Amino acid sequence: MAAFRLTRDTILDGSLHASVRDILGPDVVFMTDDERRAEIEAMLERAPEPGRVWVFAFGSLIWNPAFHHVEQRVARVHGWHRQFCLWVRAGRGSPERPGLMLSLESGGSCRGVVYRLGPGTERTELDVLWRREMFTKSYRPVWVLAHTPEGPAPAIAFAANRDHDRYAPGLDADTVACHLAEAAGPLGRGCDYLFDTVAHLRQLGLRDRALEALEAKVRARRAAEQAPG
């Protein structure tokens, strides 16, 4: 059972960071407040359309964004695809049984959700988002153009930081399925991260064939492990 839920409150009160530090030890390096503020300012300075900021969600942000927004749309981003390529040794994994998280890798396209931040709230809400996604610096924020039924939206998305020690490129589907089937941590099971992503994409009318095939592998592996005898 998860020790706590990932919410706006547990992000802002330090519970998320504390749970990671409890597992990984006092030497784990977090992004400082000054680094976070500077990076957010740099992103806003590079905004394609100043004053119009969206966030692209491709994983757990789809069903649990935790930041405030004023509009939501389904969207497709070209030039990036969703992939399990970041190790998780806390959260939904442990040092002994690491899980994996989704990130964006270059190439292809990715369907998900975009959220529009309210005018004047960008810094406050991006601060929540950065505390959640960027505190270990395993992602790198990028501006993307999200194509929605109502028109294009300039959005911030999170791609893998290929220089980070959590980066796990080129894993085959069986390896990913093995880790997701076995991993668990204070935020829950690795398999549920996958299952929830697939389920919420389906609810939105979006299909990701690769994720659905991976879901089938993970469910089959868990069923085999739980079978008697």
**Looking at the annotation, which residues are catalytic?**
133
Contacts of 54 (CB under 8 A, 6+ apart): 114, 115, 116, 117, 146, 153, 154, 155, 156
By the 10 Å C-beta count (0-12 exposed, 13-18 middle, 19+ buried), 55 is classed as buried
Output b/e per residue, 4-35; b: 16+ Cβ within 10 A: eebebebbeeebbbebbeebeeeeeeebeeee
DSSP annotation of 62: G
Query: What's the one-letter identity of residue 19?
Result: S
